[in-house]
């Protein structure tokens, strides 16, 4: 998994659009993107970033007429697993501990986490 390229923050915003909404044209990404800093990217910036991302091996495209439709080359789960490996040496408990210490997690999300942990435990015991 070490061969997966690391996206920049702006590239990650584009990947989020592609992960959540599926393959998109430049216009589609531009319409759907909601940058964390609140500053809307220009359409030509999105186009340039997608070209650079393709060169880096983050996305690929197919042509539909004169329009390029971009898709991610790796999933959100693959990206998360790589982050876990790189930052926490694969220790999921350290990641969760770090999140619980640093973030104020609402009770509803804690309940969701508990449900996910219980489901994972059941799968592991089978």
3-state secondary structure the chain: CCCCCCCCHHHHHHHHHHHHHCCECHHHHHHHCCCCCCCCCCHHHHHHHHHHHHHHCCEEEEEECCEEEEEECCCHHHHHHHHHHHHHCCCHHHHHHHHHHHCCCCHHHHHHHHHHHHHHHHHHHC
pTM of the predicted model, to two decimals? 0.75
**Using CA atoms, how far apart are residues 33 and 14, in angstroms rounded to an integer?**
7
Q: According to the model, what pLDDT value does residue 4 have?
A: 65
Angle at 115 between CA 112 and CA 116, to 5 degrees: 90
Beta bridge partners of 68: 63
Q: According to the model, what pLDDT value does residue 38 have?
A: 79
Q: What count of residues does the chain have? A: 126
Q: According to the model, what pLDDT value does residue 63 have?
A: 96
Q: Are 46 and 93 in contact (CB under 8 A)?
A: no
Q: According to the model, what pLDDT value does residue 1 have?
A: 46
> Mean pLDDT by 10-residue block, N- to C-terminus, for the chain (126 residues)?
74 95 97 84 94 95 96 89 81 82 84 90 90
């Amino acid at each position: 998994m070490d061969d997966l390229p690391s996206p920049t923050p702006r590239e990650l915003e584009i990947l989020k659009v592609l992960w959540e909404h599926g393959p998109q044209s430049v216009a589609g990404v531009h319409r759907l993107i909601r940058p964390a800093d609140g500053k809307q990217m220009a359409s030509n910036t999105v186009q340039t970033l997608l070209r650079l991302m393709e060169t880096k091996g983050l996305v690929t495209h197919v042509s539909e007429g004169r329009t390029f439709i971009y898709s991610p080359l790796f999933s959100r789960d693959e990206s998360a697993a790589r982050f876990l490996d790189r930052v926490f040496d694969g220790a999921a408990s350290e990641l969760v501990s770090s999140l619980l210490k640093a973030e104020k997690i609402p009770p509803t999300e804690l309940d969701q986490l508990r449900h996910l942990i219980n489901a994972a435990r059941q799968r592991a015991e089978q």
